[in-house]
Amino acid sequence: MSLINNILGQFSKDIGIDLGTANTLVYVRDKGIVINEPSVVAVNKRTGQVLAIGDEAKKMVGRTPSHIVATRPLVDGVVSDFEVTEQMLKYFIEKVHREGFSLFPRPRVVIGIPLGVTEVEKKAVEDAAMNAGARQVFLIEEPIAAAIGARLPVQDASGSMIVDIGGGTSEIAVLSLGGPVTSKSLRVAGDEMNSDIIRFARDEFNLLLGERTAEDIKIAIGSAYEIEETLETTMRGRDLVTGLPREVTINDEQARQALKRSVKSIVNSIKSTLEETPPELIADIMDRGIILAGGGALLRGLNILIHEQSQMPVHLADDPLTCVVRGTGLVLEDLDTLKEVLVAPQYDTKLK
């Protein structure tokens, strides 16, 4: 069996996957990040056929006839639609191998998962990856992958604090000796911020916004802390009174007001994680600072607000969006040294 594994391995590229609620990123060994696409799949409900995955499917969100549904197969970082997740993983694995000579790609795969997911949820990710064509599956908790991607010394006997704000979840962890010492996983992240903007537009302006519009507003003018320049953008949606299209101008202060609840929730969780951290590790974090990763870390002024509230130095990781997938890639490049940080497999993932 190991001979077959070795032969398959010769023609397969080992890959690391950040299987996110909003985006899926794929790292190929010796090549770097090759795919960064939305975690969206468009399915024809009548035939069950997958019509588009990734960028193509995202363009269809909110714009399809009733029998075509563009959905996200992951909710809060956890597989909610097993078959569609499997199709999505298969598409990404095949896309990576398309330019090679591999007819039956059987790569080893490292996948990032949220902290504190159940055994059943871990097994769902493993099964989906195995069914999608992986010959071995390794799981790593996202904050650990993000910390490795941010080049923090996670295996040392010193404290590192990482805050990974993704699409579905915010993961806060103090790491030492390859594992989390204190941690929190919140279902408040980028998606919840988009919902905040939708709620604000409805309550303040009687305007119904789409999810993509809300996300565009968040990126254009969203902030967590007062900023020097005034930013403005237009919200376009449906007037809930007349039912007709309407456009409203919104500024950064209103957007900040809209996002306040989610931001406060994340900041409070960071503070309570610090309160539970042993004093020795607090001293290390004071030296090294809190590292922010994930798309949510790009929210203007979030680092200043966290610094103000926690009295700790706060740093943005280099390219926070790709921290987790770069971490999975570094684990792939050095599996022997870093296998200690992996989640123990739920069952033997060797090729049967």
- Interval 243-250 mean pLDDT: 95
pLDDT at residue 231 tops 50: yes
Q: Which fold has domain 2-144+324-341?
A: Nucleotidyltransferase; domain 5 (3.30.420)
Q: Domain residue spans in the chain? A: 2-144+324-341, 146-188+265-320, 190-259
Query: With b meaning 16 or more CB within 10 Å and e meaning fewer, what string describes 127-166?
Result: bbbbebbbbbbbbbbbbbbbbbbbebebbeebbbbbbbbb
Amino acid residing at 236: R
pLDDT at residue 250 tops 80: yes
pLDDT at residue 351 tops 50: no
Sign of CA dihedral 147, 149, 152, 155: positive
Q: Between 103 and 290, where is the model more confident?
A: 290
Instruction: Write down the pLDDT at residue 265.
Output: 96
Fold equal for 2-144+324-341 and 146-188+265-320 = yes
pLDDT for 97-140, tens place per residue? 876 555 567 889 999 988 888 898 888 889 988 988 889 999 99
Q: Between 48 and 196, where is the model more confident?
A: 196
Of 61-75, 120-134, 160-174, 194-208, the least confident: 61-75
Q: Is the overall model pTM greater than 0.95, yes or no?
A: no
pLDDT at residue 350 tops 50: no
Q: Which fold has domain 146-188+265-320?
A: Nucleotidyltransferase; domain 5 (3.30.420)
The tokens describing 142, both together, are 């996202």
Domain 190-259: give its CATH code: 3.90.640.10
